[in-house]
Amino acid sequence: MPRSTTPQTLSREITISGHGLHGNRPCSVRLVPVAEPTGIVFVHTPTGTVIPAKADLAGDLVLATTLVKDGVRLQTIEHLLSALMGLEVEHIRIEVDAEELPILDGSAAPWVEAILQVGVKGLAGRRRFMKITQPIEVRNGDRWIRALPYDGLRLRYVIDFPIPALGRQSRELSLTPDKYRRELGAARTFCLAQEIDMMRARGLALGGSLDNAVVFGADGPLNESLRYEDEAVRHKMLDLVGDLALLGAPLLGLVEAHAAGHALHVALAQAILAAPGSWEWTEEAEPANVRFFFQPAGLTAAAQPA
């Protein structure tokens, strides 16, 4: 499926309500289409605070992605951002009446279904991508993430947990809206049973349950079933797609992550934005070999992707 070449918003408004995973408070979210390209912009309606989805506003990144502006926090934004970026809806106003977005079923699937139900609408102009031209990497001990040049957006993710029920999982995927919907969107957030007391003591996961998270005990998931055999690594990829939204534009590159999480995902976005020599703007979404087909033979053979 070719990637969209025009900027996209939604065809109609969507309102979804639920409660937050960490604070367990009710929240209603209204997705409002925009008339021209604006990027993804949150509005905290009780205060009127406008918070663009940008990496320089990222705050607390423990177990969720949070934006902070003028003292207002918006927590657990990553699953909605993931659904929007996965479906190439990169221009939208998101009105939120609380400080944490609803966790829903713990995946991006409810957002994906709602977006597909109303459909997307093209806006004037050309879609612009940030195309990685030089490798860029962020490390934290054994955990790391890096972006490499690539035609398209390709994700490669490895997780390695010291409990047999999870263990090592790896997956690689070239992202298209269709693949996002089928292979990542429904993967639920997860945690280890042994972490729950620690999280609750810190005021986290107060709204968590087997209805909105997969909980792994020593012998396997406590939930009745998994949606994918490797649901955990797929959810990490879902989170990565959402966190990369904080670049403010779609990315073209190969992103490799090893035992990463929100903090490293956002650190990569910040590192890319801080290194303008490592990427360039392009409006060309198609792989180079599609273009080369129309060019004289021999001109660019060496540049074709393997």
Catalytic residue numbers? 262
Cα radius of gyration rounded to whole Å, the chain: 19
β-pair partners for 137: 146
Site for Zn ion in 255-274 (CB under 5 A): none
CA–CA separation, 28 and 46 (whole Å): 12
Q: Which is nearer to Zn ion, 161 or 292 (CB)?
A: 161
CA–CA separation, 120 and 166 (whole Å): 37
- Nearest distance from C-beta of residue 63 to Zn ion, angstroms: 9
Q: Which is nearer to Zn ion, 239 or 256 (CB)?
A: 239
- Nearest distance from C-beta of residue 274 to Zn ion, angstroms: 25
Task: With contacts defined by CB under 5 A, name the span among 157-165, 182-190, 207-215, 279-287 that binds Zn ion.
Answer: 182-190
Q: Which is nearer to Zn ion, 189 or 212 (CB)?
A: 189
Mask 140-179, x = binds Zn ion (CB under 5 A)? ----------------------------------------
Task: With contacts defined by CB under 5 A, name the span among 65-73, 92-100, 236-244, 293-301 that binds Zn ion.
Answer: 236-244
Residue 102 C-beta-side C-alpha neighbours within 13 Å: 21
Q: Tell me which residue has tokens 């090592």.
A: 168
CA angle 234-239-242, nearest 5°? Answer: 130
Q: Which is nearer to Zn ion, 66 or 189 (CB)?
A: 189
- Asked if 76 interacts with Zn ion (CB under 5 A), we say no
- DSSP H helices, the chain, are 78-86, 109-118, 177-179, 196-201, 231-244, 262-273, 288-292
Task: With contacts defined by CB under 5 A, name the span among 111-119, 189-197, 202-210, 217-225 that binds Zn ion.
Answer: 189-197
Q: Tell me which residue has tokens 């909980």.
A: 215
- Nearest distance from C-beta of residue 186 to Zn ion, angstroms: 12
CA–CA separation, 64 and 73 (whole Å): 12
Task: With contacts defined by CB under 5 A, name the span among 22-30, 188-196, 205-213, 275-283 that binds Zn ion.
Answer: 188-196
- Distances in Å between the alpha carbon of 216 and those of 78, 108, 126, 181, 189? 22, 20, 44, 24, 11
- Nearest distance from C-beta of residue 252 to Zn ion, angstroms: 23
Q: Which is nearer to Zn ion, 99 or 239 (CB)?
A: 239
Q: Which is nearer to Zn ion, 134 or 209 (CB)?
A: 209
Task: With contacts defined by CB under 5 A, name the span among 23-31, 45-53, 166-174, 233-241 that binds Zn ion.
Answer: 233-241
Q: How many residues bind Zn ion (CB under 5 A)?
A: 2
Whether the CB-CB separation of 150 and 258 falls below 8 Å is answered with no
Q: Which of 8, 107, 189, 212 binds Zn ion (CB under 5 A)?
A: 189
- Nearest distance from C-beta of residue 215 to Zn ion, angstroms: 14
- Nearest distance from C-beta of residue 125 to Zn ion, angstroms: 31
Q: Which is nearer to Zn ion, 80 or 138 (CB)?
A: 80
- Nearest distance from C-beta of residue 235 to Zn ion, angstroms: 6
- Distances in Å between the alpha carbon of 233 and those of 111, 158, 217, 244? 20, 7, 17, 16
CA–CA separation, 61 and 2 (whole Å): 33
CA–CA separation, 72 and 46 (whole Å): 10
- Asked if 239 interacts with Zn ion (CB under 5 A), we say yes
Q: What's the DSSP call for residue 192?
A: E
The residues binding Zn ion (CB under 5 A) are 189, 239
